[in-house]
Structure 1
Amino acid sequence: MDCVAEAAGRPRRYPSDLRQEQWALIAPLLPVPAADRPGGGRPETWCRRTIIDAIFYVADNGCKWRALPVDFPPRSTVFGFFSRWREQGVWDLVHDVLRDRIRIRAGREAEPTAAIIDSQSVRAAETVGAATRGWDNAKKIGGRKRHIAVDVLGLLLLVHVTAASVQDRDAAFFLLQRLRMLHRRIALVWADSGYDYGRLIDGARKVLRIVVQVVRRTDDMTGFVVLPRRWVVERTLSWICQRRRCVRDYERRPDNHEAMVTISMIMLMSRRLARALPQAT
């Protein structure tokens, strides 16, 4: 299906709408429609570019799915694609391919060898159930906590969402295990003092063969200070919060919030890569 603006019947009016260069990057990474597979299936009614525009609109503006503007497909259709592609790992695939391309364009190898980890507590809306929310006593925030790992460029490697009551060092066991499974070459991870826990550091070194290096503040530091390596992951957290859907957690399921964080980085990376491409006429 032709997905240029004129054929889709919808003008490009929102800041979150895909540019033609962004769509050219993302479209080849999407799964083949069911109607085009050997087993067959019902043809898709809506242009996929319009579907992604709608998902990006929700991520960028933080509105309810039911509050999508009328020039987008029905919210059940849009949310159906969002959920199905989350379950199929499509968002992760698109994200990882774009990340690899940015790393290569920056003169690095696609697979990283070092990472930085950190966490961020965010307030939860009334849609978040009691079973998956908690209280972060240090930040005085009730809601959820997203634990992330990034490379030295600040590009997302992994996101894991828990209740805000989960300690950083406890979630780090799962985070580092997943990091080892997904990125086999990583050997060094920088972290803040919240991860300074003997069992975590020793276990990572002996079992996962990952060195966890804690970057500490010195006693003579007062106020805000840019710390080596740690500022990279803190900048990534600020990038994620540029999307209003990620400023607060509205998702009933933690994996939906993980998908929204991934989509926020897809939006950022696709725009970066599109700027380096010849402009569509």
Structure 2
Amino acid sequence: MRRRRYPSDMTGAEWALIEALLPPAACEIGRGRPEKHPRREIIDGIRYLVDNGIKWRAMPSDFPPWRTIYGFARRWGAAGVINLVRDQLRRRVRLSSGKTPQAAAVIVDSQSVKASETVSRDSRGYDAGKKINGRKRHIVVDTRGLVLLVMVTPADVTDRNAAKEAFFRLHLMHPEIAIVWADSAYAGGLVDWAKERLDIKIKTVRRPPEAKGFVVLPRRWVVERSLSWIMRARRHCRDHERLPQVSETLITWAAITLMTRRLTRKPTRQPTRASTAATVMAAAA
């Protein structure tokens, strides 16, 4: 096992959370050879790439080969393993904060980001409103800002058109969701379509007409905060992935890292009333 040396490396508590959610290795069910590299090092490599924004080929030598790490990321993403880990961790975070394990109301928004030259022409587009040539990330979060769904499309796909597919996926995975808060880009015929086809009520949160400058809008600030959390991972400041599915997987890994750190964070000790009084008396003396 390699020595833990990077800020993105998992702690023992984080690894315990994720290890229990991973599928068994093929050799454990009699269908393949033993895995050459420990899974903890594989996940540490994925987290290092997401956190630092390096190229796959620039993986440090103390990690397993980059092709191995990339292969695990692709296979786990295609098999739905990453989404399962994300959903289970989200339930634990909600329970730890006194919420129900499932969310009945969510918030949706999109974010256009520039794409590198590695992104092919057929999976990128030009967002004329934001003047960005690249891709668009559509994200759905609960009222705590925890990610439920990530979908990546070319930037020229409108929010209304992408929302139909996103809401359909959301309804299949989370049929308990009844309310979606969104901005005015999701208004119009999409509201009637979602109510008739999916029994989901879309509530648009509009900017007050008399407002000037920056205004914090109810509900919408939650998803904006989640997007800022994801952007802290330098890999997501620009889209570098050839396949949109890989981009979705790496964005989900950023959300998983946030949740594992929140679940394993040591609580800060609040000063008791007696210790506060003793401190005041000592200062007075």
**TM interval, short-chain normalised:** over 0.9
How far, CA to CA, are the matches of 1:275 and 1:171 in structure 2? 36
Aligned positions of 1:181-260 closer than 5 A = 181-197=172-188, 199-260=189-250
> Where do residues 70-219 of structure 1 align in structure 2 (5 Å cutoff)?
70-197=61-188, 199-219=189-209
Q: Deviations over 1:217-252 (max 9, x none)?
A: 111111111000000000000011011111110000
Is 2:29 the counterpart of 1:33? Answer: no
TM-score by length of 2: 0.92
Q: State the Cα RMSD in Å.
A: 1.0
Deviation of 1:75 (Å):
0.8
Deviations 1:86-143 (A, max 9, x none): 1111111111110010011111111110010000001000110000000001111110
For residue 24 of structure 1, give the secondary structure of its aligned residue in structure 2. helix
Q: Which amino acid aligns with 1:107?
A: G
SS class of match (1:221): coil
Partner of 1:59: 50
What is the one-letter code of the residue matched to 2:7? P
* Structure 2, unaligned runs of 5 or more: 268-285
- 1:69 maps to 60
- Displacement after TM superposition at 1:172 (Å): 0.8
Alpha-carbon distance in structure 2 between the residues aligned to 1:83 and 1:173 = 26
Aligned to 2:280: none
Q: Tell me how far apart the structure 1 counterparts of residues 256 and 60 of structure 2 sit (CA, whole Å).
A: 22
Alpha-carbon distance between aligned partners in 2 of 1:241 and 1:20, rounded to the nearest angstrom: 25
Q: Offset at 1:34?
A: 1.0
> Which whole-Å CA distance do the structure 1 matches of 2:78 and 2:158 have between them?
27
Q: Does 1:266 align with 2:256?
A: yes
Q: Which runs of 5+ in 1 are unaligned?
A: 1-7
Cα-to-partner distance string for 1:151-196 (whole Å, 9 max, x where unaligned): 0001001111100000111111111111111111111110001111
Say which is worse superposed, 229-238 or 26-35, in terms of deviation.
26-35
Question: Deviations 1:10-49 (Å, cap 9, x if unpaired)?
Answer: 2111000001110010011111111111x33111111111
Q: Which amino acid aligns with 2:129?
A: A
Report the 3-state secondary structure (helix = DSSP H, G, I; strand = E; otherwise coil) of the residue aligned with 2:175: coil
**% identical equivalent positions:** 54
Paired residues in the alignment total 267
Q: What is the match of residue 277 of structure 2? A: none
**Distance across 1 between alignment mates of 2:23 and 2:223:** 31
Partner amino acid, structure 1, of 2:199: R
Structure whose CA Rg is larger = 2
Give the residue type in structure 1 aligned to 2:37: W
Q: With the length of structure 1 as denominator, give the TM-score of the two structures.
A: 0.93
Structure 1 residue ranges, 4+ long, deviating more than 4 angstroms after superposition: none
**Structure 2: distance between partners of 1:209 and 1:84:** 33
Q: Give the residue type in structure 1 aligned to 2:200.
A: I
Query: Is 1:14 the counterpart of 2:21 in the alignment?
Result: no
